[in-house]
Chain A
Amino acid sequence: MRAAILVLSVGALLAACGEPDQTKAAGNTNRADVVPWQGAHNPHMAKGWNPGNQASWENQIRARGQLQNEYIRTGSGNATAPGGTTR
């Protein structure tokens, strides 16, 4: 009986030592914002990727980014960089 009371007392005392993080900093505020790869759920969605799939979204963004590369858009032979990789 004494042991049980002792355990409960120690538990109650240690519980008072715990403290949730109350820091308000830029790293952890407004984090309720939904990640973009979840999709916009509106009629303006671009085709060719699956909302909810992060890898699919990243591939879509990279492919779309390459549309800014005129060496690829024009099919120019200059699309190959000195390192040998296709840009």
Chain B
Amino acid sequence: MARMKFICDAERCIECNSCATACKNENEVPWGVNRRRVVTINDGVVGQEKSISVACMHCSDAPCMAVCPVDCFYRTDEGVVLHNKDTCIGCGYCSYACPFGAPQFPSSGTFGLRGKMDKCTFCAGGPEENGSTAEFQKYGRNRLAEGKLPACAEMCSTKALLGGDGDVVADIFRTRVVQRGKGSEVWGWGTAYGKAPNQATSPNGKKS
């Protein structure tokens, strides 16, 4: 069983925003909603600038699913977290719960009216019939049902953003890390929560 995952290689991302553009175009995302965006840290600092493309990470234990009061989320057998816009009430709880800022809300009316939640679908559409017009209008393209991968990953110019079956994506990333001798330290507990200063950080001890 394929388990869909994204990973973004911070060593390769050049902040070109083609992933965000491809997503907007492919899914005809409403004005004001960005299902995917590029986050840059140390912007402008020579040698320390790092960018990463962020969207819904389709968590295995998704907090958005846990907090939704109307239970509009569901997870497919491929591990993609989707939601039903017919059930969504636009309360915004998922937005507060998500650590990645994935849930977005279009301002589609007067007085700042908040519409139904919109987020990355891993280009897997929604509950409507696969590839139907109704599905496209609500959720965008269903590329998975077309035998394709998400447009953002397939369009990435440097292949920093990888998407697809978790095993394949992990293999590609692992091969890269081994070839260039660094990069494995950008993920994991140490990066998120800190580590001892003298701790080895990569296979050959170099920091990225």
Contacts and interface: CB of A to CB of B under 8 A. Distances in A.
Interface of A: 24-27, 29-42, 44-46, 48-49, 57-58, 60-62, 64-71, 78-79, 81-82, 87
B87 to A, nearest CB: 8
B148 A64 contact: yes
Contact of A78 (B66, B147, B149, B179): B179
Nearest to B128: A33
A45 B147 contact: yes
Contact of A34 (B2, B129, B169): B129
Contacts of B165: 58, 61-62, 65
Contacts of B74: 26, 29-31, 33
A77 to B, nearest CB: 11
B146 interface: yes
Interface stretch (B43-51, B76-84, B102-110, B112-120): B76-84
B4 to A, nearest CB: 8
Contacts of B142: 36, 40
Interface string B31-72: 000000000000000000000000000000000011010011
B182 interface: no
The 4 A-B pairs with the shortest beta carbon distances in the complex, nearest first, are A40-B131, A65-B164, A46-B147, A65-B168
A87 B147 contact: no
**Chain A facing B: main interface SS:** loop
A81 B175 contact: yes
Given A61-B2, A82-B178, A36 B124 contact: yes
Interface in B132-147: 132, 141-142, 144-147
A23 to B, nearest CB: 10
Given A49-B147, A61-B2, A78-B179, A34 B168 contact: no
A36 B163 CA distance: 16
A41 B147 CA distance: 11
Interface of B: 1-2, 65-66, 68, 71-78, 82-84, 87, 124, 126-127, 129-132, 141-142, 144-149, 153-154, 156, 159, 162-165, 167-169, 171-172, 174-175, 178-179
Contacts of B1: 58
A67 B149 CA distance: 10
8 contacts: A36-B124, A36-B142, A40-B142, A42-B131, A57-B147, A58-B165, A62-B165, A65-B169
Contact of B168 (A30, A42, A62): A62
Given A61-B165, A62-B164, A81-B174, A39 B149 contact: no
A84 to B, nearest CB: 12
B56 to A, nearest CB: 15
Contacts of B78: 36
Nearest to A50: B147
